[in-house]
Structure 1
Amino acid sequence: MSTESTVVIIGLGWLGEPLARTLQAGGHRVAGTTTDAAKAARLRRDGVPAEVLDLNTPLPPAWPARLAADTLVLCVPPGKVEQYAATLGRVATLAAGGGVRRLLFTSATSVYGGRGNKTEADAGPDSERGERMLAAELAVRQSGIPQVLCLRLSGLVGGSREPGRFLAGRRFEGGEEPVNLVALEDLLRFIPAILAREDWPATLNVSAPHHPSRRDFYTRAAQLRELPPPVFDGGGAGGKCIDGAALSRWLGLDYLVTDWFAWLAARKARD
């Protein structure tokens, strides 16, 4: 596989698979990995070169030639990998040795703790998950790959991720906390636009500009699916609100989703 204008995606899952197809449609040469042999075979039949790679087993001693690429997208959620930071750091180090010169890591906004508006400069986890994500960011930055962008994603919705089912019929605290979300359709616009540029910043947030309360958003999402709404206790007003505007300004692209209630209604109407 030539390294010119090529992208390898580690993790052809909820985001990685549609991203691969989007990039192919845009003229990129794309390959990727999954942990599932049957899925890899299906993807190959569908025209997406896919290999089986389980990050919970010993990694190869060198970056595989079949995964040679200019750009690596690490699209691996922390719940899927033991020793998450160390493992991703090792993957990135192997990729650097294999000639990869750019790495986009899909991190998460769990790296922000506390309350109030959070920009890229405000990382300070207050959870184990957030600590793990920040450690993984540091590990991939230390890999030797010349350009690394940590794309901190807010809560993921769209595609197979139906928010009406997330909390239906359950009881939670913090009903007034703002939601921080990003839709799959926005990610599939933003990431190809990022890959088309060379002037990468170190970190960018991805979070739609509308932040209704958890109570309002998840209640409406459940109602539209005719599911029992969640029950929220009070609290959470003035909670954490992720600012995703820097990405939009840098790319010159507005978010498609600027009203989550309109998005929920349109998604329901398409079904």
Structure 2
Amino acid sequence: MELIKNGYSVKGSTTSADKMEVLKKVGILPFLVSISDDGIKGTIDACLKDSAGLIINIPPGLRKNPEANFVKQMEMLCKHIESSTIKNVLYVSSTAVYEDDVSMPIITEESPTNGQSASAKQLIGAEQVFKSNSNFKTTILRFGGLIGDGRNPAKFLSGKTNVKNPEGPINLIHQEDCIAIIKTILLNKHWNTDFNAAAPQHPTRKAYYTSLCKSQNLPIPQFDLSGHSNGKIISSEKVERILKYDFQHQL
């Protein structure tokens, strides 16, 4: 919707027939497309036809289907992109590709993508699928945890007990900042690079969620203080320097 306001012609895919009309009502040309290990169903070629740029924002979905091969799915999608008019791909990934560490290092785009969870490994593999393809230019955009419209962070932990990592730093980003950063990359044609994006403030989990729950009169989470905390700090210095972007939402 934001891109449409800025003069872009936008197509959008959905896996749900019920959402076709929802997309159409806001000015998005809708296409029914679903991707699984068995192949791509729907109108993927029509969706890509006559378009110059593609934003890919598909979660691996391993919670619902832990056996899914997300990398294979992205390889299949790549073949369709290769035979299309797409010249630039913006692949939305996650800062989960970086492993947490007891030393809590500052993570930059130069840091190794060393995440060990099943989801992280799939995301790392998917990033490589696009970065290694010379048929189009790819920029990888790794977001921190999403907050904003419909995602109140206070409710993530409110009332929970025995919460781990009390001293671990948080790496969150507001939806409006996500959209603005995507728009900035498109407008300024920043291709063949990587960006990490999280709000510049990184309070500890205990400090942030305790304060947030208090401010909203919600039950305060109880943290496990007996073990060591680990984590990471996602630096958005490159986003601020290269994109000249100022974050709209502070934590």
TM range (shorter): 0.7 to 0.9
| 1:168/1:228 contact within 8 Å kept | yes
In structure 2, give the amino acid aligned to 1:216: A
1:120 — aligned with what?
A: 109
1:164 aligns with 2:145: no
Question: RMSD between aligned alpha carbons?
Answer: 2.0
In the other structure, the counterpart of 1:71 is 53
Secondary structure of 1:188's aligned partner: helix
TM superposition shift of 1:144: 4.1
Quote the sequence identity (%): 28
Structure 1: stretches of 5+ with no match in the other structure: 1-20, 261-271
Which residue of the partner structure matches residue 223 of structure 1? 214
Write the letter of the residue equivalent to 2:201.
H
The verdict on how the C-alpha distance between 1:164 and 1:231 changes in structure 2, with shifts beyond 3 A counting, is same
- Unpaired segments ≥5 residues, structure 2: none
Counterpart residue number, 1:192: 183
Q: Would the aligned equivalents of 1:31 and 1:49 in 2 still touch at CA under 8 Å?
A: yes
Change (3 A) 1:71 1:84: same
The Cα of 1:61 is off from its aligned counterpart by 9.8
Residue correspondence of structure 1 range 1-271 to structure 2 within 5 A: 21-56=1-36, 58-59=39-40, 63-68=44-49, 69-79=51-61, 82-113=68-99, 114=101, 115-122=104-111, 123-171=113-161, 172-234=163-225, 235=227, 237=229, 239-257=231-249, 259-260=250-251
Q: Are the counterparts in 2 of residues 102 and 145 from structure 1 also a CA contact under 8 Å?
A: no
Q: Does structure 1 conserve the Cα–Cα contact (< 8 Å) formed by 2:167 and 2:229?
A: yes
Q: Is the 8 A contact 1:93 1:140 kept in 2?
A: no
1:148-194 deviation line (CA, Å, top 9, x unaligned): 01101111110111111111111211111000011111112111110
Contact 1:150/1:203 (CA < 8 Å) preserved in 2?
yes
For residues 101-134 of structure 1, the C-alpha deviation after alignment (integer angstroms, 9 at most, x for no partner) is 1100110111111231111111221322221110
Query: Structure 1: which amino acid aligns with 2:86?
Result: V
TM-score, normalised to structure 2's length? 0.88
CA distance in structure 2 between the aligned counterparts of 1:118 and 1:150, rounded to whole angstroms: 15
Tell me if structure 1 keeps the 8 A contact 2:33–2:42.
no
1:237 offset after TM fit, Å?
5.0
After superposition, the Cα gap between the structure-2 partners of 1:61 and 1:128, relative to the gap in structure 1 and judged at 3 Å, is same
Across the two proteins, how many residue pairs are aligned to each other? 239
**Deviation of the 1:233 alpha carbon:** 1.3
Partners of 1:218 and 1:55 in 2: CA distance: 36
